[in-house]
Structure 1
Amino acid sequence: MSVLPMDATMGVLTAGLGATFGAGAVAMARGVKPRPEAEDDTAGKAGGWRWAARQIPPGWRSRRRMALAVFGGAVTGALTGWPVAGVLTVIGAITLPGLLGPDVQARGRTERLEALATWTEMLRDTLSAAAGMEQTILATCDIPPAALEKELHALAAAVREGRPLPEALEGFAHQVDDPVADVVVTSLVMAARKQASQLAALLGELADSVREQVAMRQRVEAGRASIRTGVRVTVTVTVGMAVGLTVFNRPYLDPFNTLSGQVVLATVGALFALSFTWMSVISRIEEPVRLLTPSHAGATTGGAQ
């Protein structure tokens, strides 16, 4: 049985990893490309695409930045002669900013919850002044909290256009896409249909509950801040050491020029990726099940568009 020379083996490895790298880059580019609404055949498929896109930091979803990540990986692979280093560079450039930077998604969710609590309190106070349901909603939508400004303006527009109040509220819930908002909207819908007399008191209790959730999330985020700082330090030191050795003491890294060295480098990269993925998974807060499913709310809003 003949054995390929080391140079030929490295050539085959480089070609194989290069092909895999190219296929992965194309798949990522296609995965983050937004699709027209006409292609969204079912809500389940659209939800799957939205979930996949959310795994990539928002700032890295554009084609230009994706291309920069691919270009950086190609440069790294060319300068080091290690195809695995090029692939790891692309993966790191795409995923690390979202994992190590501020949690924009969690912060946005907290801001929306605060805005929802503020709006609920506004509804309570306005209803206590003996205003009708529609007048109350229109009055509060004219001075909306910043985080819900777009959705509340759309709600006010739907009410002014003459849509039934329950349908307009369900459309609002569909836009906000939040389980807590579903609870508030469900209370308003039931009150609009059955003329509930204790709605103001219920809204006050809901507002207090939302405030408690906001406080809980803020405590969790404060605890995670130190963990993120520690991970940033670890990644910075590791990457800085690798770059420093590559530039100032390249012979020390000669073992990575071999096939076994590339396998070791890929293993180390996979371990880092696994640890970051695990950190991301355990840091997520489980969201409650929505009372108003997107398909139901979408069905009620679709006829009015």
Structure 2
Amino acid sequence: MGVMVLSTPLAALLGAGTAFGLVLLAVGLSRRDGGPADSAADLDAEPWWSRLTASRGPVDRRRVALCLAVGVVVGAVTRWPVAAGLAAAGAWMLPAIIGPDRDHARRVARIEAIATWTEALRDNLSAAAGLEQAITASAIESPEPIREEVARLAVRLQRSWRLPDALRGLADELADPTADLAVAGLVMAARGSAGQLGDVLGELAASARAKVASRQRIAAARKRNRTSARVIVGATLAMAGMLALLNRGYLALFDTPTGQLVLLAAGCCFTLAFAWLGRLMRDRDASRILAGAAVPDESRTVPT
């Protein structure tokens, strides 16, 4: 079988096309609405490959552009279309695996903010004339991670929304199991089942802080996995770079179509392994009890 020789422009073009296709495939598999309508049954019905690469956030166009740029550069340097596609896929996946766990930090900050807000709401109940007044007062100095959501809740109440509907809107925006518990207690209180609401809010705040401590312990254990992933990625990239610079002839077999297929098979094995590792390192919250609880707009205001 003859050697496949590609010119630099053709290699760049093929690399860009391959990288663009793989990035679109990754985005298509990982793109999820992340809305409140997602339920445990819906997740169980998803294909295994969709759950493997599930992503909660919206697609970052700059990130996609960066992945494509990496693919084009690698394709132009190596003249291997498969290497270009694998480089683009790696640029998409690896930051979440070997980089800092920013998603964990955001989740922990939000849970702590929910605990602080429920404590403030409990304290305001003793001085306020009612639950709505206590919520409005708590919005003034609510914690930063949930300040916008609580402020919108206060605005809804000022616009004469029914209190249970406004609270469900808050749960819909926060989209957090811990927030659902607090909102469920407030909804019950709004329907006349207040009981010992202050004590319930205090217990919810304590539970939220215990959850934060548990997440911190889990994050400390996951640091070892991230360190191992960094070592593997670093050693693999360093070895490939040294071979490409110091002994290009050793890699000449990859210039053939058969070599490209072998490279694709090896790259797919690495991709699946890192995707699985990323799935293991993701936080898994309990199912939300108020998922999809938001009501239509026409039923939210108090009738006159």
Pairwise TM-score range, normalised by the shorter structure: 0.7 to 0.9
Contact 1:167 1:301 in 2 (8 A): no
Task: Give the structure 1 partner of residue 138 of structure 2.
Answer: 140
Deviation at 1:264, TM superposition (A): 2.4
Distance 1:289 1:228, change over 3 A: same
In the alignment, residue 280 of structure 1 is paired with which amino acid? Answer: G
Q: Please give the alpha-carbon distance, in whole angstroms, between the structure 2 residues aligned to 1:139 and 1:57.
A: 32
Residue identity opposite 2:240 in structure 1:
A
State yes or no: 1:253 paired with 2:251: yes
Q: Which moved more, 1:283-292 or 1:88-97?
A: 283-292
TM-superposed deviation, 1:233: 2.1
Residue 194 of structure 1: how far off its partner (Å): 1.1
Q: What do the CA deviations read for 1:202-229 (whole angstroms, capped 9, x no partner)?
A: 1111111111111100111111112212
Matched residue SS, 2:184: helix
Q: Which has the higher contact order (CA 8 A, sep 6+)?
A: 2
Q: d(CA) in 2 for partners of 1:159 and 1:32?
A: 37
TM superposition shift of 1:56: 8.2
Normalized per residue, the structure richer in helix is 1
What does 1:1-305 correspond to in 2, within 5 Å?
5-7=1-3, 21-25=19-23, 55=55, 61-129=59-127, 131-294=129-292, 296-297=293-294, 299-301=295-297, 303-304=299-300
Given that 1:170 and 1:185 are in contact with CA atoms closer than 8 Å, whether structure 2 keeps it comes out as yes
**Per-residue displacement from partner, 1:2-35 (whole Å, max 9, x unpaired)?**
xxx4247999xx8998865554445567789999
The alpha-carbon deviation at position 259 of structure 1 amounts to 3.0
Sort the Cα spacing of 1:142 and 1:275 in 2 relative to 1 into closer, same or farther, 3 A. Answer: same
Distance in 2 separating the partners of 1:242 and 1:179: 44
1:269 maps to amino acid: G
Aligned partners of 1:116, 1:27: CA distance in 2, in Å?
36
Closer/same/farther in 2, CA of residues 31 and 225 from structure 1, 3 Å limit = closer
List per-residue Cα deviations over 1:243-280 (Å, max 9, x = no partner): 12212221222222233322222222112111111112
Say if 1:240 and 1:302 are closer, same or farther in 2 by CA, change over 3 A: farther
Change (3 A) 1:218 1:232: same
Q: CA deviation at 1:55?
A: 2.5
- Alignment-mate amino acid for residue 66 of structure 1: V
CA distance in structure 1 between the partners assigned to 2:86 and 2:298 by the alignment: 44
CA contact (8 A) 2:112 2:208 kept: yes
Amino acid at match of 2:2: M
Contact 2:116/2:143, CA 8 A, preserved across alignment: yes
Change (3 A) 1:72 1:19: closer
Q: For this pair of structures, how many residues does the alignment match?
A: 289
Confirm or deny: 8 A CA contact 1:168 1:301 kept in the other structure. no
Take 2:56 and 2:98, find their aligned partners in 1: how far apart are those partners? 13
TM-score of the aligned structures, taking structure 2 as reference length: 0.82
Distance 1:105 1:287 in 2: 13
Residues 19-71 of structure 1: per-residue CA shift (max 9 Å, x gap): 65554445567789999xxxx9x956xx99xx99963887xx33343223213
TM-aligned CA distance change 1:93 to 1:145, over 3 Å: same
> Does the residue aligned with 2:191 lie in a helix, a strand or coil?
helix
Task: Tell me: CA distance 1:224–1:143, structure 2 relative to 1, closer, same or farther (3 Å).
Answer: same
**TM-score, normalized by length of structure 1?**
0.81
CA displacement, residues 99-134 of structure 1 (integer Å, 9 cap, x when unaligned)? 211122222111110000001111112223464211
8 Å contact from structure 2 (residues 80, 260) kept in 1:
yes
Amino acid aligned to 2:185: S
- Which ranges of structure 1 fall in alignment gaps of 5 or more residues? none
